[in-house]
Amino acid sequence: MSTETASVTTSPRDRMRVRRVKTSVARERARRFVNAGMLGLTGLATLIALTPLVWIIVEVITRGAPALTLDFLTQTFKPTSLGGGGIWHSIVGTLILITIASAISIPIGILAAFYVVQHPNTTLGLAVRFGTDVLSGLPSIVVGLFVYTLLVAGRSYTAISGAVALAIMMAPIVLRTTEEMLKLVPRSMREASLGLGAPEWKTSFSIMLPAAITGVVTGLMLAIARVSGETAPLLFTAQGSNVLSTSLDHPIASLALTLYKYAVDPDKVRNSQAWAIALIILFIVFSLNIGARFIASRRAK
């Protein structure tokens, strides 16, 4: 039938059209098949990627929830023979570590970001950029080892050394996100301010930073979320502790360290407490991430 059609038509243009119709039927079937196959594959890959996340959340909640009581949050360490106590000391320790780490890394990160944005092609600007890339890819245990050699070896484990280790992890994140946000501020803002005779520092802090502030805060929250579960850099710096301590020159507890200690404890009570701590850390990280997203979405409006 198709040959008939072809023989009836005369002009090359018509022959071409017929050819197109004939091939397109077969091609379309194949195309649909491939399309469905690829769609299925991408969907499957997404599912596989999501599985561990969902699995982890379900596992942490089901195993952690039973041990998560008010006493667990408000008491400090007790032997398991006395009920095992709580993790108040670790919560306080984590808060102290993160506060000091933020106090060190946020000013450094933000100030360095201003330098990098304003002097992108200087030797120092390029070096800082390259350095932060390397630093943010550095395994956290290496950071811990470095701080250990610098501040701990030959002396004692201290809270401040743990905070320094966390600050080293945070600074590149703060720097990079602040840098990206400052770059988004229109150049005309900076020119308007400088054109009025505002000095560079005044321009940076009264015009550039406020214009970028929501993005910067989002970055800060993500940086805090990133280090709030860090264990490796604290192992041989803050070391962990069973007592409530607020002193900076003594070992200090942290949630992640206590989790690590309890997870490898032969005692079943400790193991379930470890799951409860995991649930708390998960909650903190989730809240910070969701908070960051919330701020970012408000800025978009």
Partner 1 sequence: MTEQKALNLTVTGAKSAPAPAGAPKMKTDGLSIYYGAFRAVAEVSMPVPDRKITAIIGPSGCGKSTLIRSLNRMNDLVSGSHIDGKVTLDGEDLYGPGVDVVDVRRRIGMVFQRPNPFPKSIYDNVAFGPRLYGRVPKAELDDIVERSLSRAALWDEVKDKLKQSGMALSGGQQQRLCIARAIAVEPEVILMDEPCSALDPVATIKIEELMQELKKDYAIVIVTHNMQQAARVSDFTAMMMMRPDRAGEMIELSDTQMIFTKPKDKRTEDYVSGRFG
- Cβ proximity to partner 1: between 190 and 226 the closer is 190
**Block residue for tokens 């903190």:** 284
Question: Is the sign of the CA dihedral 224, 228, 232, 235 positive or negative?
Answer: positive
Distance CA 185, CA 210 (A): 10
* Nearest approach, Cβ of residue 138 and partner 1 (Å): 31
- Cβ proximity to partner 1: between 250 and 299 the closer is 299
DSSP 239-269: B--SS----TTS-B--HHHHHHHHHT-S-HH
- Cβ proximity to partner 1: between 211 and 285 the closer is 211
* Nearest approach, Cβ of residue 193 and partner 1 (Å): 7
- Cβ proximity to partner 1: between 193 and 237 the closer is 193
Contacts with partner 1 by CB under 8 A lie at 121, 186, 188-199, 202, 206-207, 210-211
Distance CA 237, CA 256 (A): 13
* Nearest approach, Cβ of residue 191 and partner 1 (Å): 6
* Nearest approach, Cβ of residue 175 and partner 1 (Å): 21
Residue 74, beta-bridge partner list: none
- Cβ proximity to partner 1: between 56 and 196 the closer is 196
Question: Is the sign of the CA dihedral 65, 67, 68, 70 positive or negative?
Answer: positive
Task: Give, in degrees to the nearest 5, the angle at Cα 42 between 41 and 47.
Answer: 95
* Nearest approach, Cβ of residue 82 and partner 1 (Å): 58
* Nearest approach, Cβ of residue 299 and partner 1 (Å): 12
Contact 182, 211 (CB under 8 A): no
- Cβ proximity to partner 1: between 1 and 184 the closer is 184
Residue 77: what are its φ and ψ, rounded to 5°? -60, 135
Contact 168, 257 (CB under 8 A): no
Distance CA 217, CA 283 (A): 19
